[in-house]
């Protein structure tokens, strides 16, 4: 029998998932477009649907700090933010992963000021790309809901113990009402059973956390951090496999669409991947051998999966939604280029930046980007990036 699907705003579905995950502490500070997530959690706590401490802090810096404290005593911990909020919490964002605290955050992606913009792109998350967190990008409401459980599952795995950010495109996803298949609490309990943090702060077994490191020890701590993040890849896969076994919904670090025999592929992250697929379909009808590649797992970066997806392609046209100012281009293209560097028969990598602060990237735009990218690759014009649709 098919499971029941419910039409619900994606933010609310994320909050419901946090509730089903039996979260213990939620730290909350409002910022558009993540507000509906914490507002709904506040309601759930107020109505007794969720037994958790809801901590309405005075800033995002404190939100992440509260999460660190709560996670350090072994509580299941959640927060959510966007843009300026992420910028304000950035200091603690890096510390949370260094201290191996399994916090889960819904990051409703939004551009950074100035000019002030509340709309969506990936500028905020790229700022903390190197923060040591596991980063996953979701494409629609169902994926957002599913990945809350996946995130707790991965974060709390004793072999991982790292914070996880679920990147959800602001407004484009957070404020959509979508049909979502809800899982029942029993299934969730099986998937993420109650966990016990080893070395949690407790008077019975005192430990010191967040000590001061002299030069002779710092390097080793960073190597340990790197190993943990890279090593989390297997746990990410396993958690997706088990989720598929339980629900039938299957996810991969890199996903492809009509890419097997494609000559060139558009590469995206996040919700625009769905529009890209429509563009691919239309171009296919015109006889273009195109496909789409979607990077779901951003950290740890899925090199092997990307190699497999890109094999035999003449060109990858990477769509970035952020600019690394003064550098060679968008951050995703940068990484795809470096991953492909010195691969045998590596595809050319062409970089477009589009969709900044929610400027529409329609099917026609995708088609123009893909065809433009194809022409650039053929002409060997692969340096730098093109800011698509900018008015001169």
Partner 1 sequence: MDKFSVYSARLVEKGEYFAPGHRACQGCAEALAVRLVMKALGRDTIVAMATGCMEIVSSPLPTTAWEVPWIHVAFENASAVITGCESGMKAMMRKGKLLPKKINFVAMGGDGATADIGMGQLSGALERGHDFIYVCYDNEAYMNTGIQRSSATPWGASTTTSPAGKLSKGQRTQKKDLPKIAIAHNIPYVATACPSFPFDLMEKVKKAAAIEGPAYLHILSVCPTGWRIPSEEAIRYGRLAVNTCVFPLYEYEYGKYRLTYRPDPVLPVREYIEGQGRFRHLTPEDIEAIQERTTAEYEKLVKLSEEG
Report the residue number, 92 or 350, with the smaller CB distance to partner 1: 92
Least distance between partner 1 and beta carbon 75 (Å): 3
Among 124, 130, 33, CA closest to 86 = 124
The upper half-sphere exposure of residue 122, i.e. CA atoms within 13 Å in the direction of its Cβ, equals: 28
Report the residue number, 22 or 274, with the smaller CB distance to partner 1: 22
Q: How far apart are the first and last CA of the chain?
A: 56
Least distance between partner 1 and beta carbon 27 (Å): 7
CB 154 within 8 Å of CB 191:
no
Which contiguous run of DSSP H or E holds residue 108?
A: strand 104-109
Report the residue number, 212 or 325, with the smaller CB distance to partner 1: 212
Write the Ramachandran bin of 132: left for phi over 0, alpha for psi from -120 to 50, otherwise beta. left
The position carrying tokens 């509906």 is 36
Residues near partner 1 (CB under 8 A) are: 22, 24-25, 27, 51-53, 55-59, 61-62, 65-75, 77, 91-92, 95, 99, 194, 201-203, 205-214, 217, 221
Report the residue number, 177 or 207, with the smaller CB distance to partner 1: 207
Q: Is 197 helix (H, G, I), strand (E, B) or coil?
A: coil
The DSSP code for 183 is P
Least distance between partner 1 and beta carbon 158 (Å): 17
CB 145 within 8 Å of CB 131:
no
Report the residue number, 217 or 383, with the smaller CB distance to partner 1: 217
Q: In whole angstroms, what is the distance from residue 342 CA to residue 351 CA?
A: 18
Least distance between partner 1 and beta carbon 142 (Å): 29
Q: In whole angstroms, what is the distance from residue 324 CA to residue 230 CA?
A: 24
Report the residue number, 75 or 279, with the smaller CB distance to partner 1: 75
Least distance between partner 1 and beta carbon 79 (Å): 10
Least distance between partner 1 and beta carbon 209 (Å): 4
């Amino acid at each position: 029998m098919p499971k029941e699907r419910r039409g619900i705003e994606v933010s609310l579905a994320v909050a419901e998932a946090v509730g089903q995950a039996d979260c213990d502490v939620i730290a909350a500070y409002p910022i558009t477009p993540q507000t509906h997530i914490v507002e709904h959690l506040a309601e759930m706590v107020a109505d007794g649907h969720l037994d958790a401490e809801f901590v309405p802090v005075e800033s995002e810096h404190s939100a992440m700090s509260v999460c660190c404290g709560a996670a350090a005593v072994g509580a299941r911990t959640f927060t959510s933010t966007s843009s300026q909020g992420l910028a304000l919490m950035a200091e603690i964002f890096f510390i949370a992963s260094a201290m191996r605290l399994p916090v889960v955050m819904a990051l409703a992606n939004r551009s950074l000021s100035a000019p002030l913009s509340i709309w969506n792109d990936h500028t905020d998350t790229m700022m903390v790309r190197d923060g040591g967190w596991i980063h996953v990008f979701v494409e629609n409401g169902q994926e957002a809901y599913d990945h809350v459980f996946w995130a707790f599952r991965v974060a709390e795995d004793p072999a991982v113990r790292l914070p996880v950010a679920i990147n959800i495109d602001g407004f484009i996803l957070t404020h959509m009402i979508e049909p979502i298949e809800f899982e029942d609490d029993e299934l969730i309990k099986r998937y993420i059973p109650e966990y016990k943090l080893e070395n949690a702060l407790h008077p019975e077994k005192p430990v010191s956390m967040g000590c001061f490191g002299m030069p002779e020890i710092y390097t080793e701590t960073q190597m340990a951090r790197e190993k943990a993040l890279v090593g989390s890849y297997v746990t990410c896969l396993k958690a997706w496999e088990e989720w598929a076994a339980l629900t039938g919904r299957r996810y991969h670090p890199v996903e492809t669409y009509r890419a097997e025999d494609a000559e060139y592929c558009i590469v995206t992250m996040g919700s625009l991947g769905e529009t890209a697929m429509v563009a691919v379909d239309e171009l296919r009808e015109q006889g273009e051998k195109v496909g789409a590649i979607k990077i779901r797992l951003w950290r740890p970066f899925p090199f092997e999966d990307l190699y497999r997806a890109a094999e035999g392609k003449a060109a990858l046209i990477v769509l970035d939604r952020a600019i690394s100012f003064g550098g060679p281009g968008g951050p995703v293209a940068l990484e795809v280029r470096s991953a492909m560097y010195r691969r045998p028969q590596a595809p050319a990598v062409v970089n477009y930046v589009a969709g900044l602060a929610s400027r529409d990237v329609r099917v026609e735009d995708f088609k123009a980007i893909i065809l433009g990218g194809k022409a650039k690759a053929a002409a060997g014009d692969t340096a730098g990036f093109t800011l698509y649709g900018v008015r001169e």
